[in-house]
Structure 1
């Protein structure tokens, strides 16, 4: 019973390592863009889509798959 618990814990840990957040931020790119130098005078005026500052995170599950078969991998060609 303990063996099954340890296997489940190990697989959950490996699954958590395979996925993770991907952070994005375009503030520096907007500040470098000369077309975005003039900002709107009023708070409700629209801003061009290229000049809108955004930041956040996306959860990504695109990690490298973990091979648990125990087979040795082939050496890479350099």
Structure 2
């Protein structure tokens, strides 16, 4: 009976995807490409520069102003 939870998650994901979207951003590749970020801070207590900070961010956007659907109309009225 492992199919039921997986199906429920898939249905929930499909329903939520119609309402909004998710944007994902990560800076790991950009930090790895910079040679000055590989060595780390030179002195104890020194903070790394802001361009050497690794960040992973996810942002959820939801559309609240969607178009309403009228299910009462017949096919001839469209």
Structure 1-normalised TM-score?
0.50
Structure 2-normalised TM-score?
0.50
